[in-house]
Amino acid sequence: MTFVINAVLVAVILSGCGKPQGEQKQQSTAATIPVDVAVAHRQTLFVTKQFSGTIEGEEQANIVPKISERITAINVHVGESVKTGQVLVELDKSGATSQFFQAQAAFNNAEKTFERMKALYNDGAISL
């Protein structure tokens, strides 16, 4: 009998807890957020990514002549493989004012002057 009385008291206490139903409905409708519902189904997803950038070779060089001469021949084309020591561009060296010939003449002149001075030094004609 005490068990039945205790069960009834617990039921009465639990049913008395909480807010009146009118307040619960008002609060729950004010806090609801409308959502769209869709049925889930299997499908194939296509994921693509685009990146921008520049592609360069591991070994490459910007070719700039040390002397300013006219180009007479280009021996390779864009995209061709080249080997070490291969002549890529030929320059015009035939002009009288060519910087190439001027530099070569200055080198030859300096080399001859050095040899003359070396011979004079070895003979004791000049000192350091």
The tens digit of pLDDT for each residue in 33-87 reads 888 899 998 999 889 999 999 888 888 778 776 666 778 899 999 889 999 999 9
pLDDT greater than 80 at residue 107: yes
pLDDT tens digits for range 24-38: 555 555 678 888 899
Q: What is the pLDDT of residue 95?
A: 61
Helix (H) or strand (E) holding 20: none
* Predicted local confidence at residue 92, as pLDDT: 77
| pLDDT given for residue 84 in this prediction | 92
Q: Give, in order, the Cα–Cα distances in Å from 46 to each of 3, 50, 69.
A: 65, 13, 56
pLDDT, greater one: 96 or 67: 67
User: Residues 85-124, buried b or exposed e (16+ Cβ, 10 A)?
Assistant: eeeeeebeeeeeebebeeeeeeeeeeeeeeeeeeeeeeee
Which has the closest alpha carbon to 71: 93, 55, 86? 93
Average pLDDT over residues 83-111: 82
When mean pLDDT is compared over 14-28, 65-79, 91-105, the highest value belongs to 65-79
Cα(45)–Cα(38) distance, integer angstroms: 17
Please say if the pLDDT value at position 111 is more than 90: yes
Distance (Å, rounded) from C-alpha 71 to C-alpha 39? 71
Is the per-residue pLDDT at 20 higher than 60?
Answer: no
Mean pLDDT computed over every residue of the chain: 79
Q: How many CB atoms lie within 10 A of CB 20?
A: 7
